[in-house]
């Protein structure tokens, strides 16, 4: 299964660390974050990979040039950041009419992608995509979803002060070929996936919960937590 990894962010809240390195290459126990993603996806038989870049893109170029995954990965430099939805829409042909993975690669997670793909293949027939979800201890900082009895998303809240639950959107998706075809015809002003596309798909998103920790390493505190977890589990 082909994978689009969104890796172009500035990592502003991680400064001063990201003054010298792009967020997608910050080290997690000595391993670049992007390498963590490529390693687990490759192990699950996923690929090839398309990775969008922007901030300090030359460092990502250098990383990939010596990476074991260089033959299966392509970089897509954005002179101006497009936004998560616009990046996806710009590269729909990459998926060649097949289902594909869309991943926000500025998070840290060691998920069971074999199980996620299997769940997607067995999703209810009317669902156009699958979303990886996780339980969070800080729901006000996440997009929170509500499910029906069949694990289909029926409500979505984006970072509310008083969220209704703690089941969070992991920003890891499998998009069906049907959905990818539909996106070829959406309004050209669409830029953000979570706020402009997901709400239009309520009742057609299947949720698969992972027990693996999923951490947005957007702050020094969460970055330290990710490093602590991987060190503890090593």
Question: Which of the residue ranges 74-78, 135-139, 192-196 has the most confident prediction, judged by mean pLDDT?
Answer: 74-78
- What single-letter DSSP state applies at residue 225? H
- What single-letter DSSP state applies at residue 106? T
**Residue 162, pLDDT above cutoff 80:** no
Angle at 217 between CA 58 and CA 131, to 5 degrees: 100
**Confidence bin at 158 (pLDDT 50/70/90):** confident
- State how beta strands 214-216 and 167-175 pair: unpaired
Report pLDDT for 103: 98
- The domain spans of the chain are 2-228
**Residue 234, pLDDT above cutoff 50:** no
Interhelix angle 33-43/57-65, nearest 10 degrees: 50
Superfamily holding 2-228 = Spore Coat Polysaccharide Biosynthesis Protein SpsA; Chain A (3.90.550.10)
**Residue 29, pLDDT above cutoff 90:** no
**Residue 127, pLDDT above cutoff 60:** yes
Which residue's structure tokens are 């939805």? 85
* CB-CB contact of 11 with 26 (8 Å): yes
**Residue 123, pLDDT above cutoff 70:** yes
Q: State what percent of residues in the chain have pLDDT above 90.
A: 71
Record the pTM: 0.94
Report pLDDT for 164: 79
Per residue, the 3-state secondary structure of 173-194, as one string, reads EEECHHHHHHHCCCCCCCCCHH
**Residue 14, pLDDT above cutoff 70:** yes
Mean local confidence (pLDDT), 149-167: 87
30-86: per-residue pLDDT in tens?
899 999 999 999 999 999 999 999 989 999 999 999 999 999 999 999 999 999 999
* CB-CB contact of 186 with 201 (8 Å): no
Report pLDDT for 231: 57
């Amino acid at each position: 299964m082909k994978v689009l990894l969104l890796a172009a962010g500035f990592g502003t809240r991680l400064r001063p660390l990201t003054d010298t390195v792009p967020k997608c290459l910050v080290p997690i126990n000595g391993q670049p974050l992007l390498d963590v993603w490529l390693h687990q996806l490759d192990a699950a038989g996923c690929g090839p990979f398309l990775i969008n870049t922007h901030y300090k893109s030359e460092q990502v170029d250098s990383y990939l040039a010596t990476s074991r995954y260089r033959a299966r990965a392509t970089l897509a430099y954005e002179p101006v950041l497009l936004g998560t939805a616009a990046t996806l829409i710009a590269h729909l042909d990459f998926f060649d009419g097949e289902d594909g993975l869309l991943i926000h690669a500025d998070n840290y997670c060691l998920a069971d992608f074999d199980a996620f793909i299997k769940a997607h293949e067995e999703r209810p027939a009317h669902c156009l995509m699958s979303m990886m979800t996780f339980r969070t201890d800080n729901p006000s900082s996440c997009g929170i979803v509500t499910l029906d009895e069949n694990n289909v998303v029926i409500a979505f809240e984006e970072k509310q002060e008083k969220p209704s639950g703690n089941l969070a959107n992991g920003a890891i998706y499998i998009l069906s070929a049907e959905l990818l075809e539909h996106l070829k015809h959406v309004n050209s002003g669409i830029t953000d996936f979570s706020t402009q596309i997901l709400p239009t798909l309520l009742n057609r998103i299947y949720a698969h919960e992972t027990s693996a920790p999923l951490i947005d390493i957007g702050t020094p505190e969460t970055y330290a937590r990710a490093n602590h977890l991987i060190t503890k589990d090593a």
